Amino acid sequence: MNYNIVVIISVIICAIISFVLSYYLSLFILGASSGLFKIAQLIIAIVSMTTFYAPIKYLLLKFMEIDENKSENEND
């Protein structure tokens, strides 16, 4: 499997986790009727995406045994 595909998979996994986490956390904090609901949801999603992306990518690379340098040089 290619390094780029692992990056795409980790972004998709992060997006799903961030969407669910931001929705329920902002629903718990503000409530759905609040005017700041979508803004809080966006901020929580951005923070959780930046927090979870690197560890998920690292675990996928380790689990699939992909060498980052080897995969980049194969495309040249």
Annotated domain spans of the chain: 3-69
Q: Could you report the per-residue pLDDT of 12-48, keeping only the tens digit for each? A: 999 999 999 999 999 898 888 888 888 989 999 999 9
CA-CA distance, 49 to 55, in Å (whole number)?
11
- At residue 23, the pLDDT reads 92
pTM of the model as a whole = 0.73
CA-CA distance, 51 to 13, in Å (whole number)?
13
Instruction: Calculate the dihedral angle through the C-alpha atoms of 17, 18, 21, 25, rounding to the nearest 10 degrees.
Output: 180
